[in-house]
Amino acid sequence: ETGVTQSPTHLIKTRGQQVTLRCSSQSGHNTVSWYQQALGQGPQFIFQYYREEENGRGNFPPRFSGLQFPNYSSELNVNALELDDSALYLCASSPGLAGEVFFGPGTRLTVT
């Protein structure tokens, strides 16, 4: 059984550009969440998808958007990148809203 995978591993973008990060959930998991982790901080919740519908959102602006596909894989899109968007982006999946949460290794985004 494969765990949560994310791509790419690292990414460098320029301010103002757009970026798409991808995540494959663990098999059988219908819930996926995205987190942003700045250096030296704990992960901050961006949003969650449950069975392809957004099921909650943290304190992030609308330029952070997402999708969950029928196979429960997911994308995080960020428009109009800002320097402060530089962070580790973590995808997490779980078999439901209350189950143990499994995290991927993250995508390191650098905005210059």
Partner 1 sequence: DAKTTQPNSMESNEEEPVHLPCNHSTISGTDYIHWYRQLPSQGPEYVIHGLTSNVNNRMASLAIAEDRKSSTLILHRATLRDAAVYYCILRDPGGSQGNLIFGKGTKLSVKP
Residue 66 near partner 1 by CB under 8 A: no
* Contacting residue, 1, 28, 83, 98, with partner 1 by CB under 8 A: 98
Query: Does the footprint of partner 1 cover residue 61 (CB under 8 A)?
Result: no
Contacting partner 1 (CB under 8 A), which of 66, 87, 106, 109? 106
Minimum CB–partner distance for residue 99 and partner 1 (Å): 8
User: How far is residue 103 from each of residues 17, 29, 65, 100, measured CA to CA in Å?
Assistant: 26, 12, 19, 10
Label the pairing between strands 53-57 and 5-7: unpaired
**Phi, psi torsion values for 4, nearest 5 degrees:** -75, 130
Is residue 104 involved in binding partner 1 (CB under 8 A)?
yes
Q: How far is the CB of 19 from partner 1 (least distance, A)?
A: 19
CB of 96 vs partner 1, minimal distance in Å: 7
Binding of residue 45 to partner 1 (CB under 8 A): yes
